[in-house]
């Protein structure tokens, strides 16, 4: 017996689980290395290169998008980042990406 395949309509999925952005804010307290390590530990799917790029974006522009995901996951990632002493917020992603 084969497992049935379920296809999810992206429009319906977005209505049920609207995307949120996790935003990392720059600070003058934590070292760059600490921020990169905290990003990787908080969001395990991030590579070191991705975490470094996010840290640099926040450093140079004041904020950076860490990940876009459903609200419950975004709240989890924000809490993880805050547990490392970082400042993070979440916001609705909107359709413009």
pLDDT by 10s per residue, the chain, length 97: 677 787 877 676 666 678 999 999 999 899 999 999 999 999 999 999 999 999 999 999 999 999 999 999 999 999 999 999 999 999 999 755 4
Count the residues in the chain.
97
Q: Determine the pLDDT at residue 95.
A: 57
CB atoms within 10 A of CB 64: 20
Supply the pTM of this predicted model: 0.82
Q: What CATH number labels 18-92?
A: 3.30.1390.10
Average pLDDT, the chain: 91
39 burial level (CB within 10 Å; 0-12, 13-18, 19+): buried
Q: Determine the pLDDT at residue 6.
A: 77
């Amino acid at each position: 017996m084969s497992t049935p395949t379920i296809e999810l309509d992206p429009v319906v999925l977005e209505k049920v689980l609207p995307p949120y952005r996790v935003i990392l804010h720059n600070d003058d307290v934590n070292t760059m290395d600490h921020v990169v390590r905290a990003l990787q530990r908080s969001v395990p799917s991030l590579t070191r290169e991705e975490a470094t790029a996010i840290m640099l974006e926040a450093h140079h522009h004041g904020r950076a998008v860490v990940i876009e995901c459903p609200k419950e996951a975004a709240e989890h990632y924000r809490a993880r980042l805050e547990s490392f002493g970082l400042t993070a917020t979440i916001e609705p992603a909107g359709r413009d990406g």
